[in-house]
Chain A
Amino acid sequence: MSAPTVVAPRPARRGTLKQRLLGPQNRNLWFWVFVGPFLVGLAIFVYVPILWSLYLSFFDARNTVTPTDFVGFDNYTFMLTDPAFLSSMGTFLVFAIFIVPVTFAFGLGLALAVNRTRWFQAFFRSAFFLPAACSYVVAALIWKMSIFNGFRSGVANGLLGVFDIDSVKWLSITTPPWYWLVLVTLRLWLQVGFYMILFLAGLQRIPPILYEAASIDGAKPGWQTFRYITFPQLRATSVAVLVLLLINAFQAFDEFYNILSNFGTYPPYARPPLVYLYYVALGSQQDLGRGSAGAIILAILIGLITVLQARFTREKRS
Chain B
Amino acid sequence: MTDPTPQRPSPLNRRQFFAVGGSLAAAGVLAACGSDTGRTAASSPGAAASTGSTSTATGSSSAAVSASSVSGGPSSSAGGAKPTLQQWYHQYGEEGTKAAVEKYAAAYPDATVKVGWFPGDYDSKLASALLTADAPDVFEAGNGPSIDAIQGGLVEPLDDLLGDAKSDFNQALISRMSYQDKLYAIPQVIDMQLLVYRKSLLDAAGVKPPTTFDELAAAAKALTDGDQKGLFVGNDGGVGILTGPTLWSVGADYLTDDDKVGFTDPSVATAFGKLHELFASDSLLLGAPSDWFSADAINTGLTAMQFTGLWTFPDLIKELGDDFGVLPWPKFSADGAGAPSVPIGAFGSAVSAKGKNVDAAKAFVKYLWVDNAADQVDFAQSYGFHFPARESLADQATKLKEGTAAEAVKILQEYSHAQSPLLWTPASATALSDAVTKIIKNGADPASTLAGVVSKVKAELKRVVK
Where the two chains meet, the residues of A that have a C-beta atom closer than 8 Å to any C-beta of B are 62-65, 84, 121-122, 125-126, 145, 149-154, 167, 169-175, 262-265, 267-269, 279, 282-287
Contacts and interface: CB of A to CB of B under 8 A. Distances in A.
Contacts of B438: 268
A151 B289 contact: yes
B152 A62 contact: yes
Given A63-B152, A174-B441, 12 more contacts: A84-B430, A149-B289, A169-B287, A171-B287, A172-B286, A173-B441, A174-B442, A263-B240, A265-B430, A268-B438, A284-B146, A286-B131
B121 A267 contact: no
Contacts of B240: 262-265
Interface of B: 2-3, 121, 123-124, 127-128, 130-131, 146, 148-149, 152, 154, 227, 234-237, 239-240, 286-289, 291, 293, 302, 425-427, 429-430, 433-434, 437-438, 441-442
B465 to A, nearest CB: 15
B430 A285 contact: yes
Nearest to B2: A122
Contacts of B289: 145, 149, 151, 153
Nearest to A271: B434
Q: Is the interface of A mostly helix, strand, loop or mixed?
A: loop
B2 A267 contact: no
Contact of A84 (B154, B286, B434): B434
Nearest to A121: B2
B239 to A, nearest CB: 7
Contacts of B236: 172, 262, 265, 267
B442 A284 contact: no
B64 to A, nearest CB: 35
Contact of B239 (A169, A265, A287): A265
Contacts of A264: 121, 123, 240
A286 B148 contact: yes
B287 A172 contact: yes
Contacts of A175: 441-442
A122 B1 CA distance: 9
Contacts of B441: 172-175, 267
A282 B128 CA distance: 7
Contacts of A284: 123-124, 127, 146, 426
B293 A125 contact: no
Contacts of A262: 234-236, 239-240, 291
A126 B442 CA distance: 43
B127 A286 contact: yes
A290 B136 CA distance: 26
B237 to A, nearest CB: 7
A200 to B, nearest CB: 11
Contact of B152 (A64, A267, A279, A283): A64
A174 B286 CA distance: 12
A63 B2 contact: no
Contacts of A84: 430, 434
A11 B235 CA distance: 76
B40 to A, nearest CB: 21
B21 to A, nearest CB: 15
A265 B433 contact: yes
Contacts of A171: 235, 287
B288 A150 contact: yes
A178 to B, nearest CB: 10
A287 B236 CA distance: 26
A287 B127 CA distance: 11
A285 B427 CA distance: 6
A287 B434 contact: no
A287 B463 CA distance: 13
Contacts of B146: 284
A169 B148 contact: no
A279 B429 CA distance: 11
20 contacts: A63-B130, A150-B287, A167-B287, A171-B235, A172-B235, A172-B237, A172-B441, A173-B286, A174-B441, A263-B234, A263-B240, A264-B121, A267-B441, A268-B434, A268-B437, A279-B426, A279-B430, A285-B426, A286-B127, A286-B131
